[in-house]
Structure 1
Amino acid sequence: MKDKEVLKLVGTRIRALRRERGLSQEALGEKGGFHFSYIGQIERGEKNVSLINLQKIAGALEVNLMQLFAYVNEDFMVTSTESDIQDIVSLLREANDEKLRLAKNVLREILKGNAST
C-alpha cells in the first residue's frame, strides 16, 4: 500500500464515521479541538495526521482508535462484538431521555449478573 493510499483510507473512514453521527466537519473539529479545514484535509487524505490527533478524532467520534483503521473493503474489520456495541450506541443516540434512562436501567440489571461470575 502506498503512503497516500493509507491517508485516503483513514480519511474516508473518518468521513464515514462523522457522517454516520450526523456531524459536520465544523462540529467534529469543535469536538476534537481542530479547525474544520484541518478535518477536511484529513478526510481528503491530504494530511499525515499524528497518532495523538487520531486519538482526539476517535474520541470526538466516540469510537476507539482501532475503528479509524477498519476500512471499507479491507481485510481488517471491526469484530462482531464491537459492531454490536456500536449498534447499541446508535440506538441510544436516537432515544429520548426517558427511553435512555430505561435502557440504562435494563442494561445495568442485565449486566449485574455478569459482574459476579
Structure 2
Amino acid sequence: MNEDREVLKLVGARIRALRKERGYSQESLGEKGGFHFSYIGQIERGEKNVSLVNLAKIAESLDVNLIQLFAYIEMEEEFEVTENEKEISEIVQMLRDSSSDNIRVAKNVIKGIMM
C-alpha cells in the first residue's frame, strides 16, 4: 500500500513541476482541464488515485504527452524552487508567448552565450 502512495506522490510532483514550469496556478490548470482546483491540489499531493482519462486531460492541459507525466523528477521531502528554477520558468513562459522567429533568435543568443 505504501508503494501505491509513492507512485501517486511521484506523479503528483511531476504534474506540479510541469504546472509551475508553465506558470499556471492550480485554478488555471483546473479550468483548462475541466477540474476544480482542489482536485488538482489533491492529485499533486498524492491524495487522489487519478484515472487515466483524467491524467490524459491534465497532460493535454499542460501541453505534454501522457507519458511525460510519468517521467518522474527527483522528489525531495519538500519541493524547493531555487532562484535559478524561477528564472528558467520565467524564460520558458516568455518563449511560450513568443513567435517562432523570436524563439529562433532567443535560441541563437543562448547558444552564443553558452559557447
For the aligned pair, the TM-score class normalised by the smaller chain equals: 0.5 to 0.7
Q: Distance in 2 between matches of 1:52 and 1:101?
A: 32
Q: Distance in 2 between matches of 1:40 and 1:73?
A: 19
Please tell me the residue identity of whatever aligns with 1:17: L
Please tell me the residue identity of whatever aligns with 1:102: D
Matches within 5 A, 1:1-117: 2-73=3-74, 90=92, 92-95=95-98, 100=99, 102=101
Please tell me the residue identity of whatever aligns with 1:39: I
Over the matched positions of the two proteins, sequence identity in percent amounts to 70
> Alignment RMSD, CA only?
2.1
Higher RCO, Cα 8 Å, sep 6+: 2
**Normalised by the size of structure 2, how large is the TM-score?**
0.68
- Summarize deviations over 1:82-117 as a string: whole Å, max 9, x none: xxxxxxxx474042xxxx15369x8xxxxxxxxxxx
Q: Distance in 2 between matches of 1:37 and 1:103?
A: 36
Q: Distance in 1 between matches of 2:36 and 2:74?
A: 29
CA positional deviation for 1:73: 3.2
Please tell me the residue identity of whatever aligns with 2:45: R
Q: Distance in 1 between matches of 2:10 and 2:58?
A: 15
Q: Distance in 2 between matches of 1:40 and 1:102?
A: 36
Runs of 4+ in 1 over 6 A off after TM superposition: none
CA positional deviation for 1:51: 0.2
Give ranges in structure 1 of 5+ residues lacking alignment.
75-89, 107-117
**Normalised by the size of structure 1, how large is the TM-score?**
0.67
